[in-house]
Amino acid sequence: MSVLIFIDHSDGAVKKASLEAISYGAKIAEQLGLTAEGALLGNLNEDIASLGKYGVKKIYHVADVALDHPDPQVFTEVIAQIAEKSGAKLIVFSNNLHGKAIAPRVSARLKAGLVAGAVALPDTSNGFIVKKNVFSGKAFAFISINTDIKIISLNPNAYPVAVTEGAAAEVVPFTAAVGEPRIKVTAVNKVTGEIPLGEAEIVVSGGRGLKGPENWNILEDLAAALGAATACSRPVADADWRPHHEHVGQTGLAIAPNLYIAIGISGAIQHLAGVNRSKVIAVINKDPEAPFFKAADYGIVGDAFEIVPKLTEAVKALKG
Amino acid sequence: MKILVCISKTPDTTAKIAFTDNNTKFAENGVQWIINPYDEWYALVRAIELKEKDPGTVIHLVTVGEADTEPIIRKALALGGDEAIRVNASGADSFFIASQIAEIARQGGYDLIFTGKETIDYNSAAVGGMIAELLQLPYISLAVKFDLEGSTVTATREIEGGEEIVQASLPLVVSCQKGMAEQRIPNMKGIMSARTKPLKVVEPVAVDPLTTIAGFETPPPKAGIKMIPADNPAELIRLLHEEAKLI
Ligand SMILES: Cc1cc2nc3c(=O)[nH]c(=O)nc-3n(C[C@H](O)[C@H](O)[C@H](O)COP(=O)(O)OP(=O)(O)OC[C@H]3O[C@@H](n4cnc5c(N)ncnc54)[C@H](O)[C@@H]3O)c2cc1C
Ligand SMILES: Nc1ncnc2c1ncn2[C@@H]1O[C@H](COP(=O)(O)O)[C@@H](O)[C@H]1O
């Protein structure tokens, strides 16, 4: 019997969020005395067996390149077949965009209870209870999964990637009989070289206080110096100063980086809902009464246009 | 063309989140309820736009909820939509909700089912995918654009670090997010006509939920803020490096 982990990748590399899911799944397997196994659909540019160092013992690999664009319906079919072969008691996904598209389908297919957005290891001392993020970051819920097979989608940045002593994983080629995807991908527009916001450990974010898109260079310079992703408040995305996928908050993306630096953002409750799971929050705002200071760990009251370039200089000096 | 739009009720975005009964129940006292923003701004408004383009379109709304969801569904009808169906059950389990909606969809023979990206209370983003699997339909998740030419769908969906343009044929299920449409305010005519639009109440089909809520927790408050003088911003970087050890 196994904990089966869905190994998600793009451009030939396993995503960081998926490495977190592998580490998490391997830990649960150890807790429950099950084997950690992986399901890899499509191909990697790296050695698959080496994923064993994250604790996964065996990887079912479906090499069919048509699987490089994950079609949720086709993937569900394949994962259901692998789950059966592997004797999966628990299936782990990352709660990233692919996970959100696929895990619910697998749940409905296998009648396996799903907790989407898990933030901690399950409590198996009395049943099977998973802590998840609810009310857009304002609270947590403990969800009991009542079915024999269980599914967890782990939030990105909620569990650290852990490298174990583990030997190389056994790679088992798997052929799955699947239909043609009924959704045809006709084009892909990807911003390459950018750190995906959902996975970023440091995020530098700007609000209306920056006055206009032409001023974003000061924020981008700081982000570049820190190796951070950039984000923004909703009015900034609504005004098309920044792309929509940078909008964080209750109605945008919810993120949980280690460090969130908010510049010229007032800290409205709907904004906080998307960022208050950040481990540390630093706020730069010229208004000492800005509500964001109440949710922050570090604060500077002052003009962003003066302060941010100095922060960038200090980071550069630090990093040599 | 028949469209089914899934509508859920959530606490207002400014609502205070607290729990009662030994942290097992959401404290509803004084909470304002709204249509889940993703369902209202994106799923419903896009459906209305499709109807404006092709007046032969019929829009039905469905909600799984108890009688107290009716004000929400009337508000949705005021924005647009021809009739509503309420499945009379409280549902906290995504699979239970999806099973109810799939049953309504089977009976109604819809060409298109729209859900929101996620509910802003349970944040599962799960119901749409489950409906699609139960009905064995294709599922476009997290769509930011959706267009229809005859029965051919062209949509844009969000993927990690970018977007994909996809093509598919009706029928299918789509979860909708920002970009699909713009928020609208209901007008007087809409509000008046919503009062007389049919709101059918049906009893749920028997389905065992796969999960149950065991309890809630609110995060501990922040320990307190450390202020850094504006004339020495480098101090912030030093603290983040030496104290917080984050850079
Ligand atoms: C249903 C609903 C959902 C919403 N969802 C979201 C969401 O998901 N995300 C989101 O962000 N918002 C959301 N909002 C909007 C939210 O309520 C706020 O209006 C929004 O977050 C404010 O954005 P802001 O902080 O950039 O702008 P403002 O509130 O205008 O704040 C600008 C800040 O910049 C400061 N400032 C000005 N000049 C300078 C300077 N030179 N240097 C330093 N600081 C300066 C000001 O003191 C002020 O605090 C939602 C609202 C509703 C009603
Ligand atoms: N009780 C409900 N009744 C009708 N639709 C719902 C209900 N709950 C969720 N949905 C729909 O499913 C979407 C995703 O919800 P969730 O999976 O709970 O995040 C929502 O945006 C709604 O469109």
Predicted confidence (pLDDT) per residue in A78-135, tens digit = 999 999 999 999 999 999 999 999 999 999 999 999 999 999 999 999 999 999 999 9
* β-bridge partners, A251: none
Q: Which of A18-22, A67-71, B95-99 bottoms out in mean pLDDT, i.e. has the lowest?
A: A67-71
| CATH (residue range A2-173) | 3.40.50.620
Output the pLDDT for position A193.
67
Separation CA A70–CA A78 (nearest Å): 11
pLDDT confidence bin for A195, thresholds 50/70/90:
confident
Number of domains in chain B: 1
Separation between Cα atoms, residue A23 and residue A3, nearest integer Å: 11
Site of tokens 């499509």: A42
Q: Could you list the residue range(s) of the whole structural domain that residue B147 is in?
A: 2-219
Segments of chain A assigned to CATH 3.40.50.1220 = 197-319
Report the chain A residue with the minimal C-alpha distance to residue B167: A184
**Residue B231 domain-assigned (yes or no):** no
**What is the per-residue pLDDT for A164?**
86
How many residues make up chain A in this entry?
320
The b/e string for A81-116 (b: 16+ C-beta within 10 A; e otherwise) is: bbbebbebbbbbbbbbbbbbbbbbbbbbbbebbbbb
DSSP A292: G
CATH 3.40.50.620 segments of chain A: 2-173
- A156 token code pair: 């990105």
For residues A296 and A259, is the Cβ–Cβ distance under 8 A?
Answer: no
B27-86 residues touching A, CB cutoff 8 A: 37-38, 41
Instruction: For residue A286, give the nearest of A221, A215, A209 by alpha carbon.
Output: A209
Give the C-alpha separation, B143 to B165, whole Å.
10
B98 pLDDT exceeds 80?
Answer: yes
Return the residue matching tokens 């974003």: A216
Residue B230 domain flag: no
Q: Helix, strand or coil for residue B193? A: helix
In this predicted structure, what is the pLDDT of residue A64? 82
Could you tell me if residue B57 is inside a domain?
yes
Q: Which of A197, A195, A215, A196 shows the shortest CA–CA distance to A207? A: A215
Three-class secondary structure assignment of A190-257: ECCCCCCHHHCCEEEEECHHHCCHHHHHHHHHHHHHHCCEEEECHHHHHCCCCCHHHEECCCCECCCC
| pLDDT per position as a tens digit, A276-286 | 999 999 999 99
Determine the straight-line distance between the first and last CA of chain A, rounded to whole angstroms.
Answer: 51
Among A226, A225, A224, A206, CA closest to A216 = A206
- A198, A275 in Cβ contact below 8 A? no
Mean pLDDT of all residues in B31-44: 97
Q: Is A226 left (phi over 0), alpha (psi -120 to 50) or beta?
A: alpha
Say if residue A69's pLDDT is above 80: no
pLDDT digits (tens, 9 = 90+) for B211-237: 999 999 998 888 899 999 999 999 999
**pLDDT tens across A127-164, in order?**
999 999 999 888 999 999 999 999 999 999 999 999 98
Contact state of A140 with B211 under an 8 Å Cβ cutoff: no
- Could you give the C-alpha distances from B113 to A14, A38, B46, B163, in angstroms and in order? 33, 33, 12, 21
Let me know: does A2 contact A29? Beta carbons within 8 Å.
yes
Q: How far is the CA of A214 from the centre of ligand 2 (A)?
A: 39
Contact by Cβ (8 Å): A259, A278: yes
pLDDT digits (tens, 9 = 90+) for A3-47: 999 999 988 999 999 999 999 999 999 999 999 999 999 999 999
Dump pLDDT digits (tens) for B101-122.
999 999 999 999 999 999 999 9
pLDDT at A133: 93
pLDDT reported for residue B246: 94
Query: Which of chain B's residues have a Cβ under 8 Å away from the Cβ of A252?
Result: 178
Residue A116 CA to ligand 2 center (angstroms) comes to 13
Measure A203 CA to ligand 1 centroid, in angstroms.
17
Helix (H) or strand (E) holding B89: none
Model confidence pLDDT, tens digit, residues A165-182: 878 999 999 998 888 889
Note the helical H segments in B44-160. Answer: 45-53, 70-79, 94-108, 127-135
The string of pLDDT tens digits covering residues A216-244 is: 999 999 999 999 999 999 999 999 999 98
Q: What is the mean pLDDT of residues B176-183?
A: 93
pLDDT 10s digits, B113-171:
999 999 999 999 999 999 999 999 999 999 999 999 999 999 999 887 788 999 999 99
- In a mutational test of the A interface, the residue from B39, B152, B159, B245 whose CB has the highest number of chain A CBs within 10 Å is B159
Residue with tokens 């857009």: A136
C-beta of residue B114 within 8 angstroms of C-beta of residue B91: no
* Closest ligand to residue A232's CA: 1
The atom number, within ligand 1, closest to the CA of A211 reads 38
What are the residues facing A237 on neighbouring strands?
A: none
Topology annotation, domain A197-319:
Rossmann fold (3.40.50)
Residue B31 lies in a domain: yes
Burial A285-310 (b: 16+ CB within 10 A, else e): bbeeebbbbebbbbbbbbebeebbeb
Distance CA(A93)–CA(A104), nearest Å, equals: 10
Q: What is the pLDDT of residue A68?
A: 65
**Contact predicate A92/A21, CB 8 Å:** yes
In chain B, DSSP assigns E strands to 2-6, 9-11, 19-20, 25-26, 33-35, 58-65, 83-88, 112-116, 139-149, 152-159, 162-169, 172-176, 199-202, 211-217, 226-227
- Closest residue to B17, CB basis, from A101, A135, A298: A135
pLDDT confidence bin for B194, thresholds 50/70/90: very high
CATH of the domain at B155: 3.40.50.620
Q: What pLDDT is stored for residue B220 in this prediction?
A: 85
Cα B214 from Cα B25, distance rounded (Å) = 9
What's the rounded Cα separation, in Å, for the pair A257 and A279? Answer: 7
- B234 within domain boundaries: no
Say whether residue B211 is in contact with chain A using an 8 A CB cutoff.
Answer: yes
Task: Find, in chain B, the residue whose alpha carbon is nearest to that of A180.
Answer: B138
Residue A65 has pLDDT above 70, yes or no: no
User: Which of A238-247, B9-18, B97-106 holds the top average pLDDT?
Assistant: B97-106
Residue B154, phi then psi, degrees to nearest 5: -120, 125
Could you list the beta-strand ranges (E) of chain A: 2-7, 9-10, 13-14, 35-41, 58-62, 88-94, 113-118, 129-134, 139-145, 150-154, 170-173, 184-190, 202-206, 229-232, 259-263, 280-285, 298-301
CA angle A37, A41, A43 (to 5 degrees): 110
**Using a CB-CB distance cutoff of 8 angstroms, which residues of chain B are in contact with residue A113?**
93, 95, 210-211
